[in-house]
Amino acid sequence: MVYIDPNLKNFGYALDTEGRAFELSNLEKLKESERILDRLTSLRDRCIAKSLWVDTVHGDGTVSTHWRPSRRWKRLDDAVERMQTKVREQKKHFMYSLANQLCRHYDVIGIGNYVPENTNHGKGRKYNRAVRNRTMHGAFKDIVSWVATRSRKHALVLDETGTTRTCHACGHVVEGGIAPAIREWDCPGCGTCHLRDENACQNGLRRLLTQVGDAVDCSHLPCSGPVQIIGRCDWRFHPQGWTGVPRGGANVNSMRLPEYRQRMRALPRARVGDRASKSAKTSPSAMRRLA
């Protein structure tokens, strides 16, 4: 079983019942693509001022009028559409491969119901963009539940209220919550040092286990206590899939995803073969040219 705590800094932080904690990195290229998209959109919208109010006389003598955009507007509009398609496909690939990877490794997947809130309007465009990116979490919940149903696994969306502010060791609740900038904190109740996301995951995982326990009518699942962390790593997204990059003393072999290792082993051979065949083809022509 695994619980994912969605957050804004990364895509999410996950913890499984075996004690492996991993941070799910966000789509790295997305930031750059969305910056380009913003620029193209603003350039296109500036061209609206140049559009003309044109009369069209129809065959039956009626006259209709419409705005005719400039050629530059049309060109930029095409570019915006191409970029939007690209970003959409990138996001889709990212979410489907993550959902498949999770379903391959786990039987039950729990996700916190992260609700985007745009209460802080003072932070400007950068913050608005970050909030808009969060729509990916909403779509991901649907995707993961669909992929789970297809793979005969289970996906649950859990209420994550108070998971961050509650200490998983003693149950102390920090009044007023913890500011997003604070990544590590000491519990005033028992003095335990918590990693912000990991503590939220411990609480979320406990909720997931309780819910699953209730569903199967068994109040105590064998693994319902707080989980002992055995290793931490980052899951990073590549065009070939997801890789686990160990962090700070984690066990390398247990963290790396087996599928990716196999694929990486297969890749260099194919490339070497391609290069060899190409050079074999080009060298005789080069020789001929020299002759």
CB atoms within 10 A of CB 142: 13
- Phi/psi of residue 23, each to 5°? -95, 130
Contacts (CB under 5 A) with Zn ion, residues 199-258 = none
CB 172 to Zn ion: min, Å = 4
CB 227 to Zn ion: min, Å = 16
Would you say 43 or 174 has its CB closer to Zn ion? 174
CB 188 to Zn ion: min, Å = 8
CB 5 to Zn ion: min, Å = 18
Task: For tokens 């109040």, name the residue.
Answer: 219
CB 186 to Zn ion: min, Å = 9
Would you say 190 or 215 has its CB closer to Zn ion? 190
Would you say 170 or 266 has its CB closer to Zn ion? 170
Rounded to whole angstroms, the Cα distance separating 244 from 235 reads 4
Would you say 15 or 167 has its CB closer to Zn ion? 167
Q: Which helix (H) or strand (E) holds 2?
A: strand 2-6
Strand partners, 242: 237
Would you say 133 or 202 has its CB closer to Zn ion? 202
Contacts (CB under 5 A) with Zn ion, residues 177-206 = 187, 189-190
Interaction pattern, residues 141-180, with Zn ion; x per rule: CB under 5 A: --------------------------x-xx-x--------
SS3 assignment, position 169: coil
Would you say 194 or 207 has its CB closer to Zn ion? 194
CB 190 within 8 A of CB 170: yes
Q: At CA 238, angle to CA 18 and CA 138, rounded to 5?
A: 70
SS3 assignment, position 9: coil
Compute how many residues bind Zn ion; rule: CB under 5 A: 7
Rounded to whole angstroms, the Cα distance separating 61 from 63 reads 6
CB 173 to Zn ion: min, Å = 10
159: left (phi over 0), alpha (psi -120 to 50) or beta: beta
The string of DSSP codes covering 185-229 is EE-TTT--EEEHHHHHHHHHHHHHHHHHHHHTT-S--TT-SPPPP
Strand partners, 63: 57
CB 194 to Zn ion: min, Å = 8
Would you say 4 or 167 has its CB closer to Zn ion? 167
Which residues here bind Zn ion, judged by CB under 5 A?
167, 169-170, 172, 187, 189-190
